[in-house]
């Protein structure tokens, strides 16, 4: 498979000063064209043994602070982040021939913001967070249907409180690269780097 990318280009004469504004524009365009989850991204972390690990998570909020996703604070990714909070996010939107790469620092969001998001989740997802000890090893024949039935019954008439081990991380960006596929492999790339005060821009060769 070998596509020639022709759909769009980066307007180098009118670049956004703030990469988060740029990102919002691109993700909104991705949501419009992608019937699936345009907010899905690959999160990479580093293990205690310096091994990279990647998995998909869903971006649930984007603000001036950064990129927020939710997960289990006892999962493997959370254990990695506790040891080394430098992470990377990668968004790929094939319909638009675009990629965004983010490097940053992952920090737990405050408990109130995690509570607010947890309350919005469908009850079945809330129960799922209670049931799954994410990333732990379980019996190969373990049947979630039985325990799900039991827990559903138990919480039939009750509101579910967010378990303390479930919540959000915000990735505070240090570097964001926008990539737009172009014909003949002369792709457009623009890198934003934060120097502690302002975002500096560089164009990169394809
Ligand atoms: C489309 C998609 C969306 C996902 N969204 C999330 C998510 O938002 N949070 C999460 O913890 N896991 C999510 N997962 C599951 C993760 O990829 C991963 O299996 C899980 O978090 C365990 O990762 P870990 O063992 O490295 O911690 C998603 C998987 C896919 C394929």
Q: What is the pLDDT of residues 56-102, one digit of tens each?
A: 999 999 998 999 999 999 999 999 999 999 999 999 999 999 999 99
Atom of ligand 1 nearest to the CA of 37: 1
Q: How far apart are CA 143 and CA 146, in angstroms?
A: 6
Structural domain for 45, as ranges: 12-119+164-203
pLDDT in tens, 116-137: 999 999 999 999 999 889 999 9
Whether 149 is in a domain gets the answer no
Whether 35 is in a domain gets the answer yes
Closest CA to 7 of 108, 93, 81, 120: 93
Whether 17 is in a domain gets the answer yes
Whether 145 is in a domain gets the answer no
Closest CA to 100 of 29, 152, 35, 14: 29
Q: Which of 35, 36, 53, 56 to mutate to test the pocket of ligand 1 (most atoms within 8 A of CB)?
A: 56
- Expressed in angstroms and rounded, the spacing between residue 178 Cα and the centre of ligand 1 is 24
Average pLDDT over residues 194-204: 97
Q: How far apart are CA 175 and CA 148, in angstroms?
A: 42
CATH number of the domain that residue 181 is part of: 2.30.110.10
Whether 3 is in a domain gets the answer no
Atom of ligand 1 nearest to the CA of 134: 22
Instruction: Return left, alpha or beta for 155; rule: phi > 0 is left, psi -120 to 50 is alpha, else beta.
Output: alpha
Residue nearest atom 19 in ligand 1 by C-alpha distance: 55
Q: pLDDT at residue 23 above 90?
A: yes
Q: How many helices (H) and strands (E) does the chain have?
A: 5, 8
Question: What pLDDT sits at residue 26?
Answer: 97
Packing angle between helix 123-131 and helix 144-154, nearest 10 degrees?
Answer: 120
Average pLDDT over residues 9-30: 96
Question: What pLDDT sits at residue 7?
Answer: 92
Closest CA to 25 of 76, 80, 89, 93: 93
Whether 140 is in a domain gets the answer no
Whether 128 is in a domain gets the answer no
Q: How far apart are CA 29 and CA 22, in angstroms?
A: 11
Residue 206 CA, distance from chain mean position: 25
pTM, two decimals, is 0.95
Whether 22 is in a domain gets the answer yes
Residue nearest atom 10 in ligand 1 by C-alpha distance: 71
- Expressed in angstroms and rounded, the spacing between residue 42 Cα and the centre of ligand 1 is 9
Closest CA to 142 of 154, 152, 129, 131: 131
Average pLDDT over residues 34-45: 93
Average pLDDT taken over every residue of the chain: 95
- Expressed in angstroms and rounded, the spacing between residue 33 Cα and the centre of ligand 1 is 23
Question: What pLDDT sits at residue 3?
Answer: 83
Q: How far apart are CA 151 and CA 154, in angstroms?
A: 5
Would you please indicate which residues are annotated as catalytic (active-site) residues? 185
Distances (CA, A) of 33 to 87, 95, 161, 177: 28, 7, 36, 21
- With a Cβ cut-off of 6 Å, ligand 1 is lined by 37, 40, 53, 55-58, 69-71, 75-77, 134-135
Work out how many domains the chain is built from and give that number. 1
Q: pLDDT confidence of 1, banded at 50, 70, 90?
A: confident
Q: What contacts 171, CB < 8 A, 6 or more positions away?
A: 66, 67, 68, 69, 87, 89, 102, 104, 105, 106
Q: How far apart are CA 134 and CA 152, in angstroms?
A: 19
- Rg for the chain (alpha carbons), in Å? 20
Q: How far apart are CA 146 and CA 6, in angstroms?
A: 51
Q: pLDDT confidence of 19, banded at 50, 70, 90?
A: very high
């Amino acid at each position: 498979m070998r596509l020639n990318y022709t759909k769009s280009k980066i307007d180098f004469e009118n670049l956004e000063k703030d990469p988060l504004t740029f990102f919002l524009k691109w993700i909104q365009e991705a949501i419009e064209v992608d019937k699936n989850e345009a907010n899905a991204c690959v999160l990479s972390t580093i293990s205690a043994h310096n091994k990279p690990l990647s998995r998909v998570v869903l971006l649930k909020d984007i603000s001036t602070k950064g990129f927020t996703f939710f997960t289990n604070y006892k999962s493997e990714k959370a254990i990695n982040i506790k040891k080394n909070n430098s992470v990377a996010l990668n968004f790929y939107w094939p319909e638009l021939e675009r990629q965004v790469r983010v490097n940053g620092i992952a920090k737990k969001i405050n408990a109130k913001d995690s509570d607010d998001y947890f309350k919005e989740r469908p009850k079945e997802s809330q129960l799922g967070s209670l049931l799954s000890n994410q990333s732990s090893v379980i019996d190969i024949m373990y049947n979630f249907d039985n325990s799900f039935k039991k827990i559903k019954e138990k919480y039939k008439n009750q509101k579910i409180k967010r378990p303390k081990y479930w919540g959000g991380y915000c990735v505070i960006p240090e570097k964001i690269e926008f990539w737009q596929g172009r014909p003949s492999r002369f792709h457009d790339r623009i890198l934003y780097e934060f120097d502690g005060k302002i975002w500096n821009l560089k164009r990169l060769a394809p």
